[in-house]
Amino acid sequence: MKKNKIFLIVVVLLLVLLNSASFVSAQYENIEMIPGKGNTRTSDFCTYIGQIINFGFATIGILAMFMLCVGAYQYLMAAGNIAKVESAKATIASALLGLLLGLTSFIILRTINPDLVKCDLKISGTGTGDGTKPPPTGNCYGGKGACKTECGSGDDNKGQDICQSGQTCCVPKSDTGKCEPVKSGPCSVDNLKSTCFGDNAEKASKICNKESAGNPLAGGDRCSDDGRNFSWGLFQINLTCHDIGLRCTGAFNPTGSCGGMKCKNVADEVTYNQCVQKAQNIDFNIAYACQLSGNGSNFSKDWKNSSQDCGIP
């Protein structure tokens, strides 16, 4: 009973801490290193949690191995005593079950709801979500626009973007819609017409020009720590967001860093190289972009900025 009370108090305290906005937005740097992470200090809460989880996985493995040894020893020493043999078997089975549960917990959580394994501290309506910057009041749309309550006649209304509630992002009309199609190569209009883009070939060619300048080997967007590119190929497929059949999102640290949280570094070199090679493949890149954009009918979801800049929905 006493144990239950302590457990309950600990859980409540943890929930209060995790939900505290002041805790999230506090500037801090962890002083105590996580074992196995060397001297890598971090001021990023999500990275810190990730390190603790990795340490937890290692601990699970070690403890499971220890309990397996204990069970095996009990089994050997049972000397035919049925009760002791059963007890030893139960110990071994529990250790294996614990190991299995621990190692598959990530998959189980992700299957239930992918958001359960994402560390996203962004709080709706408070701006950038990194806990350090105040809500934006001025520039938006990559610095080209301004947050206003109403756009003027010479402005394009770009929606709320990163503006506060009640404001909208206004970009001068002269700064939008300036994109040209690629003249030659796989992203030329002529070539894209013969692909799944069909009648949307010109739109797709403009997006391709904006993203990679028509270079099928182009790498863009970089992880913050090691500077490795995570967007590749003609349409700059974001490998932190798209598995492309190779579990590419798992090649980065932190895993699943798609969206607001940027990757720190490449964690799995072999998978990363395979993913880059696949994303640079001309036919695959075009087919995948086609699939994401509904054959070129909607670029506004996966190519939001380029779609806005080129004036292509």
Binding site for other proteins (CB under 8 A): 142, 144, 178-180, 182-186, 188, 190-191, 206, 209-222, 226-227, 229, 231, 236, 269-270, 280-282, 305-306, 309-310
How far CA 173 is from CA of 180, 227, 272, 307, in Å, comes to 17, 34, 40, 14
Q: Quick one: DSSP state of residue 267?
A: S
218 vs 244, which CB is nearer to other proteins? 218
C-beta of 59: minimal distance to other proteins in Å?
A: 16
Closest CA to 157 of 146, 144, 171: 171
C-beta of 15: minimal distance to other proteins in Å?
A: 36
Q: Where are the beta strands (DSSP E) in the chain?
A: 139-140, 145-148, 155-157, 168-172, 219-222, 229-232, 237-238, 252-253, 265-266
C-beta of 226: minimal distance to other proteins in Å?
A: 7
25 vs 188, which CB is nearer to other proteins? 188
Rg of the chain in Å (alpha carbons): 26
Pairing, β 265-266 against β 252-253? antiparallel
168 vs 176, which CB is nearer to other proteins? 176
SS3 of residue 188 by DSSP: strand
134 vs 227, which CB is nearer to other proteins? 227
Alpha-carbon gap, residue 173 to 218, rounded angstroms: 29
Say how many residues make up the chain: 313
Q: Can the peptide bond before residue 254 be classed as cis, meaning omega within 30 degrees of 0?
A: yes
Alpha-carbon gap, residue 243 to 30, rounded angstroms: 32
C-beta of 229: minimal distance to other proteins in Å?
A: 8
C-beta of 307: minimal distance to other proteins in Å?
A: 11
Q: Is the dihedral of CA 133, 137, 143, 149 positive or negative?
A: positive
Which residues make beta-bridge pairs with 172? 155
H-helix segments, 78-120 = 82-112
Contacting residues for 129 by C-beta, under 8 A, at least 6 apart: 120, 121, 122, 123, 260
212 vs 240, which CB is nearer to other proteins? 212
C-beta of 143: minimal distance to other proteins in Å?
A: 8
161 vs 309, which CB is nearer to other proteins? 309
C-beta of 259: minimal distance to other proteins in Å?
A: 17
C-beta of 268: minimal distance to other proteins in Å?
A: 9
Contact of 4 with 21, CB cutoff 8 Å: no
Alpha-carbon gap, residue 303 to 313, rounded angstroms: 10
